[in-house]
Amino acid sequence: MATSGTLPVVDLAPFFTGDESGMARATEAMREACHTLGFFRAVNHGMPAELMKRALELSAAFFALPDEEKAKVRPAEGSQAPLPAGHGRHPAHLVDRYEYVRVCHPRHELNLYFPDEPAGFREAMEECYAKLTELGLLIQDILNDCMGLPPGFLKEYNSDRGLDVMVALRYFSSSSREGEEIGLSEHEDGSCVSFVFQDGVGGLEVLKDGQWIAAEPADGSIVVNIGDVLRVLSNNTFRSATHRVVRKAAHRHSFGFFWSIHGDKWVEPLTEFTAKIGDAPQYRGFKYNEYMQRFMKSRTDPQARPEDAFSVSHYAI
């Protein structure tokens, strides 16, 4: 059972109005959140609340369709998308209980994976993808300042958007008499940064000091969390927090957007967090493709066990 808690809130409004003192406060709030928890709630982020509400409603309508209709949303034969796109259910061997529609970047024929039913769902997902990409660019620039990196460093380092992924999810309601059971087991994200907006059911929980903290839904807000890439680049200065999803008495609908990097990128602690301050690297370097292939295999291989899930700690020194 999770305790009630409040995620740090970062108000992004100053970045749209040009309020320099407000931008400084927001940057400091983000820096503190990344140091202490690795999660925060973004408000006034530029993504219309009406779009988020509509997307969640249409997503719920899609998942309510018969299985044979949902099964039509599959990747084209021979597709080179970086992850299995289209509709699917998460493997039961991981004791996870949800279904999803995963869409990828246009260079990977993204339009083939958007569902056409219900009416308007395709357009809503396209709008969400575009708006979350814009938000990712903004957050990345702010994080660049939070990390004290040279201006534009992360923008240049992470200029390829080819591996970004958006997922619409439905977590099935709990079958437990206690009213709760695991929907997505505890993990850290393999992305640079992840974004989540959700309906009012709740269930997202963050581990802090050995206790699970409920990331309660808040209308119009987007939950942001740091992934393993920034954890390594910052040499553990930024936290890639452990989190999970607990199934509730009702179905839970949410959208996740995973802001990633190009697969050929080399990931290792930056000198700003090692040599320049006299600290030793806490990770050995790796190519992102290598990491992601092992990360995904440990979560989708029918022979895999949850306790053997691959993580970035494999590269720890």
Residues 82-133: tens digit of each pLDDT: 456 778 777 654 555 888 888 876 554 444 556 778 999 989 998 999 999 9
Q: Which residue has the tokens 């928890």?
A: 37
Neighbours of 255 (CB within 10 A): 24
Tell me if residue 9 falls in helix, strand or coil.
strand
**Alpha-carbon span 293 to 310, nearest angstrom:** 10
Residue 36: exposure state from Cβ atoms within 10 A (0-12, 13-18, ≥19): middle
- List, as one string, the DSSP characters of 249-291: SS-EEEEEEEE---TT-EE---GGGTGGGTPPPSB--EEHHHH
Q: Is the CATH code 3.30.300.30 the one for domain 3-315?
A: no
Report pLDDT for 110.
44
**Alpha-carbon span 212 to 4, nearest angstrom:** 9
Report pLDDT for 5.
62
Report pLDDT for 145.
97
Backbone angles phi, psi at 249, to 5 degrees: -70, -15
Q: pLDDT (tens digit, 9 = 90+) per residue, 185-220?
A: 888 999 999 999 999 998 999 999 889 999 988 889
Report pLDDT for 197.
97
Say what the pTM is.
0.91
Query: pLDDT band at residue 298, thresholds of 50, 70 and 90?
Result: confident
What integer best gives the mean pLDDT of the chain?
87
Instruction: State percent of the chain over pLDDT 90.
Output: 60
**Six token digits for residue 56:** 């969640």
Report pLDDT for 106.
53
Report pLDDT for 230.
97
